[in-house]
Structure 1
Amino acid sequence: MSISWRSFTGVSLSNNDLTATLPTQLQSIIATGNGVSSGKWYWEVLVQSAGAIVGVTSTTTGGQIWNTVNHRGYFSGAAKWGGTSGTSYGATFGLGDVISVLLDMDAGTIEFWKNGVTQGVAFNNVKSLGTVYPFYGNPTGTSIPSTATAKFERKAFSYQVPQGYLQYDIKHKILLSSGDKYYSLLNDGIQETTSIPKMTSNTTPEGEVLVSNSPSGNATFGWEAFDGGLSTTWGGNTLPTTMPKWIGYKFIIPKVIVKYRLYVTNTTYYPRNYEFQGSNDGINYDTLHSIVGGSSGVLDYVIPNRKPYSHYRLYITVLSNGVTLPSIMELQMFEMKPSYLVQMESATEADFLNRGIGELNDFNQILITKKNLIKGNTVLGSGKVFEHAIDMSRRRVDKITLG
Structure 2
Amino acid sequence: MTEGSPQRRPRNRKQLIVAAAARQFERKGFHDTSVADIAAEVGITGPALYRHFRSKSDLLMAAIELEIDQIERIYTSDTELPALLGEAAKALLRPGRVNTLWERSSPFLESEARSRLAERHLAALMPLRAALLRARSDLTEADADALTWAVHAVMNTARAFERVKVDRERGRRLMVSAATAVAEIPRLLPVAQEPAPHTPVVGVLSFASRREAALAAAVHLFAERGFQAVGMDDIGAAAGISGPTLYHHFPGKSAILSHIILRCLEALNFDLAAALSSTDDPAEALELALASFVRINVAQGDALVALTTGIVHVQEEERAPIRRAQQDYVNEWAVLLAASRKDLSQADTEALVRAAQRVIDAMRHHLPVRKTEQRQPLRRLGHAVLGIEEKFDTADLLV
Q: TM-score, normalised by structure 1?
A: 0.24
Larger Rg, first or second structure (1 or 2): 1
Higher relative strand content? 1
Would you tell me which structure has more helix in proportion to its own residues? 2
- After TM superposition, the score normalised by the length of structure 2 is 0.24
